[in-house]
Structure 1
Amino acid sequence: MATMKDIAKLAGVSTSTVSHVINKSRFVSEEISLRVTSAAKELNYYAPSAVARSLKVNRTKTIGMLVTTSTNPFFGEVVKGVERSCYQKGYSLILCNTEGDNERMRDSINTLLQKRVDGLILMCSSLEGERLDIFESYPDIPVVVMDWGPMLFTCDKIQDNSLRGGYLAAKYLIDCGHKQIGCITGPLTKHQAQMRYEGYKRALNEAQFEFHSEWIIESDFECEGGYQALKKMAEQGALPSALFVSNDMMAMGVINAANELGIAIPEQLSIIGYDDIHISKYMSPSLTTIHQPKYRLGQAAVETLLRKLDEKTLEPQVVQLEPTLVERKSVKRLDS
């Protein structure tokens, strides 16, 4: 019967490299992986099954992830970071879509735990404020929650500094000479939306600017919400000179509504968004926005989860990633 040593000799690599390719325990280049798998086939080598390995080491090398459905590409960009990191670390990813349904979310968590995943990454806004007793039955399964508010169960958290991001957005508009600045928020029951709005208010308070309630509209983080919010604001009277829109998807809807209303951006209305999704630079005009490190959010979630698997005594931690400003063409400078 062929051994890994035989494969290594035929493929011209080390035995440890053969082990990494067969067990998917470390990233190996595509060229070397092909050489190893070709040598294994030629020698009729049969690797131990994943089930057999998992029983031996008490690891399935599998991570489960729950995501809320949304048209927002933000979620897909974060999942890409999770999936790529899992692959590089030799893990498989099982992705479940909750459709925003709490019952489906609980069923999916239960299914993933029964499949003996090594850990869970949760990216579901419906989790905020939820107590999930099921985790008490699986105390050794680490859980990482991404970018939502306070949790009522033990977990690590990866989050964007939304307060800082909202402040950066409004401060940039102020620094560009704008004094009449409105805000289209996300649902203020959600932690992210509330923090971005608080950051906006902090910047305006610092500048001692007056708040106008007709220029602050709560919406839903989707394109249609941004579209309807600008229409509503325009119906209420004169518009501000600039708007902080709390995510890029709503900003897209705002730009669409502005075009229909004959409002030129940025000549008549400046807009700054939030997230820096991939398509934001292809909007017309290209969108000035606050960059969230989406790929890094996904990567940090996997790294945190694997660290918790290796060091089970670690206390729950919060990993906070900092937003940055991306200047494009949707904000007019009044100070020049």
Structure 2
Amino acid sequence: MATMKDLAKLAGVSTSTVSHVINKTRFVSDEIAERVNKAAQELNYAPSALARSLKMNRTKTIGMLMTTSTNPFFGEVVKGVERNCYQQGYNLILCNTEGDHERMKASINTLLQKRVDGIILMCSTLVGERIDEFERYPDIPVVVMDWGPMLFSSDKIQDNSLFGGYIATKHLIECGHKHIGCITGPLHHHQAQMRYEGYKRALREAKLEINPDWVVESDFECQGGYDSFNKLLKSGSLPSAIFVGNDMMAMGVINAANENNVSVPDDLSIIGYDDIHIAKFMSPALTTIHQPKFRLGKSAVDTLLKKLNKQSNKPEIIQLEPTLTIRKSVKNVVTAE
């Protein structure tokens, strides 16, 4: 394998000049830079990433840990992380935890041993836990996403789930619905709890009853939505509309409704949350709350690099605001009358 000394000999320059050309650390005339680059091409020279990282104390690598899920939401966020890493000249190491605490901590240790420059966490299963590994590596910046209260210092990127749940339910109210149910995610998860709080706030504001028989806690998965609808159906009368805590569960609800000859939206209006890519291709196309997933991912990388470049010292909380996306799954009772 060719070295900088080999390049210097072929190009007729010093090794320090070769280093400046390869690493772009000092101005070198175009004529000399061309000679060095030509020599590098002839010798198939590839810079040593390890040597460069040792010299600069940077590996240009970011680690990301996330809970494995069938939910496309996570993939769309990762796309924003990966693309911004690429544009900033960084590599991304992605680890799935599958909701396993020990695997999560083992993955963190592995990333730290690989000397990643920073870590992005998207694993709400560890909300409220102390992670000792971060205390042993205080210089490694950490950014968390989709997370509740933390027991370690980090920056946080989050969706305003309270407001999202509020505007979802308010839209149903504005469409004339007075009997509104809710299928939540796991309420020990911060985001699920906040969306449920937004639902309750909108109903209280409109002086509408919160019927506990129409509130079901589920798991953010399609099967959970499917089972929750059937549970509501067996309990007696259905509400006229349901706020569902994410689009995956909404898919399950629509499927179960169709199987039971309940028409969406004529018999039952549905509004979801996340606005995953396939939401507009459901039947009917799903009215939902749009999360800026790509921007969530991009903001996580930008925040991490800001810490790495010493542009910020204190932990920050960056909140991105959700918006309403109206499609075909909510019936406007007011205009229908």
Contact 2:306 2:312 in 1 (8 A): no
Contact 2:163 2:198 in 1 (8 A): yes
Structure 2 counterparts to residues 264-279 of structure 1, below 5 A = 264-279=263-278
| Structure 2 residue aligned with 1:290 | 289
| Structure 2 residue aligned with 1:241 | 240
| Structure 2 residue aligned with 1:53 | 52
* Superposed displacement of residue 45, structure 1: 5.2
| Structure 1 residue aligned with 2:61 | 62
Counterparts of 1:255 and 1:41 in 2: how far apart (Å)?
60
Structure 2 counterparts to residues 1-336 of structure 1, below 5 A = 42-44=41-43, 46-311=45-310, 314-336=313-335
Contact 1:2 1:43 in 2 (8 A): no
Q: How many residues align?
A: 309
TM-score normalised by the chain length of structure 1: 0.88
Counterparts of 2:178 and 2:334 in 1: how far apart (Å)?
11
- Tell me, what secondary structure is at the counterpart of 1:65? strand
More displaced, 182-191 or 47-56? 47-56
Q: Give the AA of the match of 2:238.
A: L
Counterparts of 1:142 and 1:181 in 2: how far apart (Å)?
43
* Superposed displacement of residue 43, structure 1: 3.3
Counterparts of 1:246 and 1:54 in 2: how far apart (Å)?
44
Q: Give the AA of the match of 1:190.
A: H
Contact 2:214 2:232 in 1 (8 A): yes
Larger Rg: 2
* Superposed displacement of residue 44, structure 1: 2.7
- Change over 3 Å in CA distance of 1:17–1:265 after alignment to 2: farther
* Superposed displacement of residue 63, structure 1: 0.3
Counterparts of 1:178 and 1:290 in 2: how far apart (Å)?
18
* Superposed displacement of residue 191, structure 1: 0.2
What CA deviation, in whole Å up to 9, does each residue of 1:291-332 have, x standing for no partner?
000010000000000000011751000010000000000000
Q: Give the AA of the match of 2:145.
A: M
Which ranges in structure 1 are unaligned for 5 or more consecutive residues? 7-15, 21-37
Contact 1:289 1:326 in 2 (8 A): yes
Which ranges in structure 2 are unaligned for 5 or more consecutive residues? 1-5, 12-19, 25-36
* Superposed displacement of residue 2, structure 1: 5.1
* Superposed displacement of residue 127, structure 1: 1.7
Q: Give the AA of the match of 1:325.
A: L
Kindly report the root-mean-square deviation, in angstroms, between the aligned alpha carbons of the 2 structures.
1.9
Q: Give the AA of the match of 1:328.
A: R
Identity of aligned residues (%): 70
